[in-house]
Structure 1
Amino acid sequence: MTATTAGPSTPLVTGGSGTRTGRRALRAAASRVLLANWTGASTVPSHTLYPHQWSWDSAFIAVGLSRLSPRRAQRELETLLSAQWDDGRIPHIVFNPAVPLDAYFPSPDFWRSSTAGATAGAPRDIETSGIVQPPVHALAAWLVHESDPETSGRRGFLARVYPRLTAWHGYLHTNRDLGGHGLASVLHPWEPGMDNSPCWDRPLERVDPAPATSFRRADLTHGDAADRPTDLDYGRYVRLAADYRDRGYTDTGAGVGAAAPHGFVVEDPGFNAFLIVSEHALAAIALTLGQDPRPHRERARALTTALVRRLWHPEAGLFLCHDLRTDTPIEEKSVTGLLPLLVPDLPGHVVEALLRTASGDHFGLGSTTALAPSYDLRGHSFDSSRYWRGPAWFNINWALERGLRQHGALARADDLRQTILTSAGASGFAEYVDPRTGRARGTADFSWTAAVVLDLLARTEEPGKGAGR
């Protein structure tokens, strides 16, 4: 994604989100963001520089939309799923044909999905990207259903999305288990969602960047270069995407090594944590539909076992990414290594270590930082302004709040929930913020920031499910 530092069009909500009046004002402001970013069938992350539909954005957006309009939330996910490829993948961007090609790069004429992706079953009548993003969608579908089971049941929402979500997970379990270890792999830094994380610096060193003259960075037209990936990194992103496209968006089987066609192959703990949680959600959906939930539960257990076996590093106190090209762990400490707190069946000693790491010197959650940073505060590449190299993101902190609550750290979850609400309102629903000061970074009126606010407010006020939920 791209970013801009333009000021918010939504008035800042500068405090009082803990009072009933303050919560009402915050809810109204967040609602305005989502309503303004709605296009009629889906929601753009922001109109200025994100004029299409993004995959994991829509999952978070649907969760928030369900607190305003369950039918609109259902349509958000159904619109995304209508662009699913025959091999099961959900592309990370679904392009709006009414938007000019120069409004965003890489644009549809770069990806050429309907032709380059024909063998992999890309839609003929919808242009998309060819890569994927974290599989949050089944979790989102279940939460949308839970927000209004009557409307969901009457419209047959779960029955419609269940086969598509099952196919999506099937793609990840088969086509993307590139190491043969039972975990899904990512083939591009954009796929785990944390685009320019320092975790990718070493794997990207072996990628020859595309010539600077071969593309134009639309993000720098509106955004602050200090907040964005460097030109060198962007050239490498373009090279990886172009190579994947030119191979027809085909994936390889097990046994990835130095001679593999993919220049970037990584097992990411956050990506797989979302897959595990979404398998549990598919089990709940299957049970609701009168189908057998056991296959999903078995996959969730197998994924959890593989996640701990492969990516847990007790000496680091968190999960680390693993470079499959060199078969070595990536030593950088990223917030992706804390996201397995979402997983319900982690060993107790792993949970305890993750809780210590989250509040310790590297992330400082609740002590030196208001929100969890995207990267190690003590890391050599920490930058409080530059995208995923330090700033705090609201969707990630929403996920951590769920993880803390799930594992019984209720007071810490309550504190994080309140901080998310206060920081989101004060920043004008910023894309991301400085983790220490809360200063707004990136674009304003960002959809998933508004969406997670609506979900947290609703969960705070549900009868019997307040601070302890």
Structure 2
Amino acid sequence: MMAHPTDALIGLVTPFLDLVAAPFTLPRSRILVLAHREGGPGVAEPVTAVRVALAEYERPLDECVVFERLAVVGTDGAPLPVTRVLPHRIEFGATGTGGLVTLTFAGPHALSVGAHGDVTAELRLTAADGGQQTIGLGPGHAASVQLRIDAARVVGVARSGAHSDHEYDTAIVWTQWFDRCPRVRDDLQAMTAFCWWVLGANIVELPGQGSARAVVPSKIGYVGLWQWDAYFIAVGLRHGDPELAREQLDLALRYPTADGQLPDVVHDEGVLASSEDLPPHDRETLRRHGSSVADPNVPVPLTKPPLAAWALRRVLESSGPCRTAHPGDPVDRAGSGDRVDPEWVDRAWTTIARSQDWWFAHSDADGDGMPEYGHPYSSGLDDSPIFDGPLPLASPDLGAYLVLQDRELERHFAERGDATEAKRHADRAAATLAGLLEMWDATAGHFVAHAGAERIRSYAAVSLLPLLTGDLPAGIASTLVAALGDPQQFGTTWTVPTVATSDPDFSAERMWRGPVWVNINALLVDGLRRSGYPGEAVELAERTALLVIHGGGPHEYFNPQTGQKAQTATTSFGWSAALFIDLAAQLSA
């Protein structure tokens, strides 16, 4: 394994920065710069203009455009093509063809465009409303122009001579970020570096959260801190920036309800913890489908699966020993650098324990001891065919998560010397495991979800996740492992599909109804290891890493037959990037 210096890592990332799958952006900034293609998607290079937009919570990018077109035009009246994209600047034209104009950031809220040397050019701006503006650059004009963009997408234009300083400052931001990039096996290093860039690119500040940094799933479409995403993202961040990893958990655990439920999302405007908190377009969609969760008189709690303890344990194991901060130390709520505030750790475990109790006290409608999903959103698997039937739904994945979390809580309280609480969580884990085993259908050969007495026929990857308990009877575990390699079940070319190929609901492209998701694969890698199948765990980790490399990046989800990005999947996706890094680190150990 070669130790790549920071400059070499940045060089490995540059080929991925295409302004399509990877927008030009800056950690903490909401500004996105993407390719503007005159003929629309699929038109070949060169890119001769860019589009500028803001990343906003629950608003599609097309509604957040600042400049529909930003072009740099030479003295001959022809647009200068984009010739190179680096983490810190976009280059238009080239020194060998008469000049170079570059675009960079002037802090998180502004762009700077400047001409180098004796280049003369024009900056032509077309606003979202069609208004146009032309600004001269170079000798006889401004050396550079700053475009300051506020949260309302109002632009302030100012001439400036500080373009080279802005380029330098932006380069420093990225250099410092890449200084932390994990060093892994040579064949995994380029994608690891790109995934590390994705995590840095997806950092935003959330209003009302002080200086806390949220690593969002994607600045294209997912601008908020989703609870489940935060757990997976923290697990990847821990390999290079444990402090930032803890910040994700701190934000996810910061706003429990009075009865202990953790919210689904922490976002710009507050939290999303109930169907009453859904954005208007989501509520309208539910009304069109005749869903009772759109009825304000029937609010449904919205959360995410209980994996907080799983994530916290892994992050703390990477953060070094906990020790009390001294007065005056620059420590945030979760701790700073290698210093982890033990009081924060205790609060985190207490919050998780209350959340775990919430599942059993408030999400077990039939009182059988097996909590249920009250809404598909709370599962993280929104469009899975297991939710085509009635709700609430008891699902084998939820049972497995609850067993895993109670065992982590048992371990925590035992370490604290609280034998009573440790036993309570151990006893509940045992009871939940017994209930989970009752969901095994020997005839079907897999675990089956149920809504009350109605058994759900869909055969989805949730049926494999009880491997996470590490405590299944040997015959059941071996049957699940065999299913992973069976072409009629989950043995696709690029595995693991989220629905078995033999299931009538299988679709290679539809979200959660067949495509491969890196988080499910990563959980199955952990489950195989816990269940005594270390060789199979390594094989799945290798195949998952190869999938991301083959597919060209950490997309939201992948077609299991081609290994490419599914058509409707988001690119530069946070948890795919984070979990690739985690798998790469494991494979390189």
Pick the TM interval, shorter chain.
0.7 to 0.9
Q: Which residue of 2 aligns with 1:134?
A: 305
Higher Cα Rg, which structure? 2
For residues 7-406 of structure 1, what are the structure 2 equivalents within 5 Å?
7-9=21-23, 20-40=185-205, 41-97=213-269, 106-107=278-279, 130-151=301-322, 154-156=340-342, 157-203=344-390, 264-292=391-419, 293-309=422-438, 311-324=439-452, 327-365=453-491, 368-406=492-530
Inter-partner Cα distance in structure 1 for 2:462 and 2:443: 17
Identity of aligned residues (%): 30
* Cα distance between partner residues in 1 of 2:402 and 2:465: 11
Query: Partner amino acid for 2:223?
Result: P
Contact 2:185 2:584 in 1 (8 A): no
3-state SS of 2:389 partner:
helix
Q: For 1:171-191, what per-residue CA distance to the aligned partner results, in whole angstroms no more than 9, with x for missing partners?
A: 001111212221111111222
Give the drift of 1:272: 1.8
2:587 is the alignment partner of 1:460: yes
**Cα deviation digits, residues 124-152 of structure 1 (max 9, x gap):** xxxxx941111111110111111123257
Unaligned runs of 5+ in 1: 1-5, 12-17, 100-104, 123-128, 204-263, 463-469
Higher strand share goes to which structure? 2
Q: Which has the higher contact order (CA 8 A, sep 6+)?
A: 1
Corresponding residue for 1:437? 562
2:576 partner amino acid: T
Give the secondary-structure state (helix, strand or coil) at the position aligned to 1:150.
Answer: coil
**Contact map agreement 1:342 1:406 (CA 8 A) in 2:** yes
AA aligned to 1:148 is S
TM-score between the two structures when normalised by the length of structure 2: 0.59
SS in 2 for 1:392: coil
| 2:376 alignment partner AA | P
Change in Cα spacing, 1:19 to 1:28, as seen in structure 2 (3 Å) is closer
1:290–1:73 Cα change, 3 Å:
farther
Provide the secondary structure at the position in 2 that maps to 1:191. helix
Partner of 1:238: none
Is the 8 Å Cα contact of residues 95 and 108 (structure 1) preserved in structure 2?
no
C-alpha contact 1:62 1:73 (8 A) present in aligned 2: yes
> Which whole-Å CA distance do the structure 2 matches of 1:291 and 1:67 have between them?
31
Report the secondary structure of 2:204's partner residue. coil
Query: CA–CA distance in 2 between the matches of 1:62 and 1:328?
Result: 37
Is contact 1:88-1:171 (8 Å) kept?
Answer: yes
Shift of 1:199: 1.6
Q: Is the 8 A contact 1:92 1:131 kept in 2?
A: yes
CA distance in 2, matches of 1:445, 1:142: 26
Secondary structure in 1 matching 2:376: coil
**Contact 1:55–1:93 (CA<8 Å) still a contact in 2?**
yes
Task: Give the secondary structure class of the aligned counterpart of 1:185.
Answer: coil
Distance in 2, Cα, partners of 1:39 & 1:426: 29
Partner of 1:426: 550
1:132 and 1:154 mapped to 2: Cα distance? 27
Alpha-carbon distance in 2 for matches of 1:421, 1:400: 14
Whole-Å Cα distance in 2 between the matches of residues 168 and 279 of structure 1?
11
Alpha-carbon distance in 2 for matches of 1:314, 1:306: 15
Given that 2:554 and 2:571 are in contact with CA atoms closer than 8 Å, whether structure 1 keeps it comes out as yes
1:260-281, Cα deviation, whole Å (9 max, x unpaired) = xxxx211011122112111112
Kept after mapping to 2: 8 A contact 1:192/1:268: no
Counterpart secondary structure, 2:378: coil
More helix by share: 1
Shift in Å at residue 369 of structure 1?
Answer: 2.9
1:161–1:142: structure 2 CA closer, same or farther, 3 Å change rule?
Answer: same
What is the rounded CA distance, in whole Å, between the counterparts of 2:538 and 2:481 in structure 1?
Answer: 15
Gaps of 5+ in 2: 1-19, 25-84, 86-182, 206-212, 272-276, 284-293, 323-334
- Matches of 1:109 and 1:94, distance apart in 2: 18
